[in-house]
A = this chain, B = another copy of it.
Amino acid sequence: MNLTELDTPAALIDAAQMDRNIARMQSRMNALGVRLRPHVKTSKCLAVAQRQREAGAQGITVSTLKEAAQFFDAGFDDILYAVGIAAAKLGPVRALRERGCQLTIVVDSMAAAQAVVADGYHFEVMIEIDTDGHRAGVRPDEDRLITIGRTLHDGGAVLKGVMTHAGASYELNTTQALEAMAEQERSRCVHAAERLRAAGLPCPEVSVGSTPTALSARQLDGVTEVRAGVYVFNDLVMANVGVCGLDEIALSVLATVIGHQTEKGWALTDAGWMAMSRDRGTQAQALDYGYGAVCDASGAPIDGFIVSSANQEHGIVSWRDGAVCPDIAQRLPIGSQLRILPNHACATAAQFPTYAVFDANGGVTPWERFYGW
């Protein structure tokens, strides 16, 4: 099978570009002297994670216990579940550990630490640090950081270290701001680790990361590992942040033109929001790509065309600036194929049961992915 024979919509992976993305991140981490623990929530695909491991990654990060189970069953045994643990999930975590999975959990509150300790099992635990006000975590200077650490350690849990995710980096778009955020993420997380150690508590690991900060950090002193996910594919949000070019986006959606509204300058495709996802991550960025940037069937951007609107199974392609393309039906004729670059690779990929992975020769291999919880 080759690309032109695929049923559309289809999720395409450009294998060569994905490998370049993997190599780029791995070589950066090697140069900075830290381990790379990829976040597999982006691909949810064993074959992708195997490529990351072959390139030098050590361990994986997951966002659900289903990911943990699926990847453990496929031979990944060093797993960080990077979402604050709920007491009701300790049973499944314990079951995976008892099967041999080195599954580490995360807490950021006394309530969660007490629940972990109350279970009586020697869980491996990291404390989540809030280094950017973005989401979860204990701020590095809070008194309760030490209280939580002591509760875990004295209660019989294995206090493995601290972890943070500077999600606020997604809102930046200059080298200077990204480098500053990477340094903030590093320094605040290292500071939290130093406070725990000064209190006599163990803290061997300092885990930080997001794709923008990982690709922007100038030094990672005191950090032991970096987590990043979306870099494996890249996307339009990352292009707007400034950490990749459009030609470094390895994931796209193959679509077919099914109609036109010529007076409006619209081409309609069979890739609506069910295929692209509802993610509008570029809406608040410098360049709004609607539901995606339009490329021709070979992957070359068709300048100025975006998916300006979408229904469930219809995409509306038009010029970004709102002008009416006078010859849309000639430029994008019915039956022609397009590749649409996604705003957010994690969201778009999640809409597909299978990736169509193509190589330089145009041959296509299906790679399965999973979803749900």
Contacts and interface: CB of A to CB of B under 8 A. Distances in A.
B88 A7 contact: yes
Interface stretch (A173-181, A190-198, A258-266): A258-266
A88 B335 contact: yes
Contact of A334 (B112, B167, B335): B112
A313 interface: yes
Interface in A214-270: 256-261, 268, 270
Given A85-B258, A277-B277, 13 more contacts: A7-B65, A7-B88, A8-B373, A41-B313, A84-B259, A84-B268, A88-B335, A111-B335, A130-B261, A136-B268, A275-B373, A350-B351, A351-B371
Interface string A88-111: 110010000000000000001101
Interface string A334-347: 11000000001011
Interface of A: 7-10, 41, 63-65, 83-89, 92, 108-109, 111-112, 115, 130, 135-136, 167, 256-261, 268, 270, 273-275, 277-280, 311-314, 316, 333-335, 344, 346-347, 350-354, 371-373
B312 A10 contact: no
A344 B111 CA distance: 33
Nearest to A372: B353
A274 B140 CA distance: 29
A260 B142 CA distance: 14
Given A136-B314, A314-B135, A88 B278 contact: no
A344 B63 CA distance: 24
A268 B353 CA distance: 29
A314 B373 CA distance: 13
Contact of A7 (B268, B275, B354, B373): B373
13 contacts: A8-B86, A8-B88, A63-B274, A84-B259, A86-B257, A87-B335, A88-B335, A135-B316, A273-B279, A278-B278, A352-B373, A353-B372, A371-B371
